[in-house]
Structure 1
């Protein structure tokens, strides 16, 4: 059954009639190596003209990943925690950088992650920290800029522009995967309504219009439905008021 995109199409038209532009960015998590799924992600980004900020797990990152990314401008490396290992007690939500262990231990791993990926990507690495499971203890935020990070990215609307001094917050807002159910695509009608509602809130001043609108994906677990919806959605946004946005700490 073909999904009904009319609610989103109407909202995009309202944006264009108002002369508004939507900065759009794409983050994809959990990369460590070159896989067929990563190749598909690269090709999809190239077709769309929207680069992917690839959140790479530093401890497990393989040298061939850096070689692959040197040959494309469609993948932008950022730091995804350290080992993607949860330290939360049983029964609590997973977190690698939650309030479950000493701050200095977490800062040590955050610094090690940045340095290891710098050794792979050099100046091509963007100093953005993406905590696994999108959870991070507030106690470590004031220290992140001192490690060399300039940005933090989690999920849902940001509550403020900067998570801490020197650390801009740039979140993602739509994840198409049904993590608690089928682990395939959430109902398309639900996703379309969510995007339309989020954009309406921005247009009408109920949400931060300066924050780029972020799509969050996980290429390693995508099936055909997730791939198809993601590409269709991004293409639709870019055909309307959206403009491709990429993070650059020199101008952000």
Structure 2
């Protein structure tokens, strides 16, 4: 079992339990395209702990092999990860697939095609939720998403009022600006506890873990395993599916 470093989280969950309350967690994993050993590891650890996972799949390059691999996984929901995860921003700007760098009609047509493709491939586990690549989307696109079949949007950070339902990831386990591996466990635990404290006061959203199975190192994998050990069968918290949270 996890040791002393996890005590801040276990203490916070004990507070929730003493108040007869339960905190919501959810997991989003990005950039799925095809079956891989890393995907197998993600699916194995989540099914072992009964943790639902929202898999953000890139529509353009994916196909039937991934659909066949996921067909036997009842705990997976598939969301739409843009169209091709291609950067259209000029050099010097932040990466952006769904920005103002192309005509709006072209961007919306790609998203509509991506939604239809994933719904066809993953009919039994598909959720009409858009996950923009790099968690960025031009605000002018948002009012048009419902018209092409989307009912929810998932980026990173605190959800803000907008034209459609938002279900955001709030804790990224990867150190993108540093070693590009898993982040320090103590820092991640501190972030989760801070979000639980806000939620306890009625000011927060579900704790949304963000992972990227294709680039995990052992630091990232170990964090997920130990987080699931602490939380998955703790009656002070619940790992929820996208369908449950959006309902």
Q: Same fold (TM over 0.5)?
A: yes
* Distance (whole Å) between structure 1 residues aligned to residue 67 and residue 183 of structure 2: 32
Offset of 1:130 from its aligned partner?
0.3
Q: Deviations over 1:184-242 (max 9, x none)?
A: 1211111111111111111123x33xx33211100001112211111211331232521
Counterpart of 1:190 in structure 2 is 187
Say whether residues 1:88 and 2:82 are aligned partners. no
Unpaired runs of at least 5, structure 2: none
Could you tell which deviates more after superposition, 56-65 or 94-103?
Answer: 94-103
Secondary structure, counterpart of 1:126 in structure 2: strand
Correspondences of 1:94-105 after superposition (within 5 Å): 94-105=95-106
Q: Deviations over 1:73-119 (max 9, x none)?
A: 12211110000011112111111112322221211111010011122
Could you tell which deviates more after superposition, 242-251 or 92-101?
Answer: 242-251
* Distance (whole Å) between structure 1 residues aligned to residue 222 and residue 231 of structure 2: 14
Counterpart of 1:142 in structure 2 is 143
Say whether residues 1:218 and 2:215 are aligned partners. no
Could you tell which deviates more after superposition, 231-240 or 71-80?
Answer: 231-240
* Distance (whole Å) between structure 2 residues aligned to residue 241 and residue 250 of structure 1: 17
Offset of 1:250 from its aligned partner?
10
Counterpart of 1:23 in structure 2 is 24
TM-score normalised by structure 1 residue count: 0.91
**Kept in 2: contact 1:24–1:242 (CA 8 A):** yes
Offset of 1:2 from its aligned partner?
5.8
Counterpart of 2:243 in structure 1 is 248
**Kept in 1: contact 2:79–2:126 (CA 8 A):** yes
* Distance (whole Å) between structure 2 residues aligned to residue 249 and residue 108 of structure 1: 29
Offset of 1:248 from its aligned partner?
2.3
Offset of 1:35 from its aligned partner?
0.4
Could you tell which deviates more after superposition, 19-28 or 29-38?
Answer: 19-28
* Distance (whole Å) between structure 2 residues aligned to residue 244 and residue 194 of structure 1: 17
**Kept in 1: contact 2:59–2:114 (CA 8 A):** yes
Secondary structure, counterpart of 1:234 in structure 2: helix
Say whether residues 1:236 and 2:233 are aligned partners. no
Unpaired runs of at least 5, structure 1: none
**Kept in 2: contact 1:27–1:53 (CA 8 A):** yes
Offset of 1:47 from its aligned partner?
0.7
* Distance (whole Å) between structure 1 residues aligned to residue 179 and residue 194 of structure 2: 24
Say whether residues 1:181 and 2:178 are aligned partners. yes
Q: Deviations over 1:113-137 (max 9, x none)?
A: 0011122112431111000000111
Say whether residues 1:70 and 2:71 are aligned partners. yes
Q: CA RMSD in A?
A: 1.8
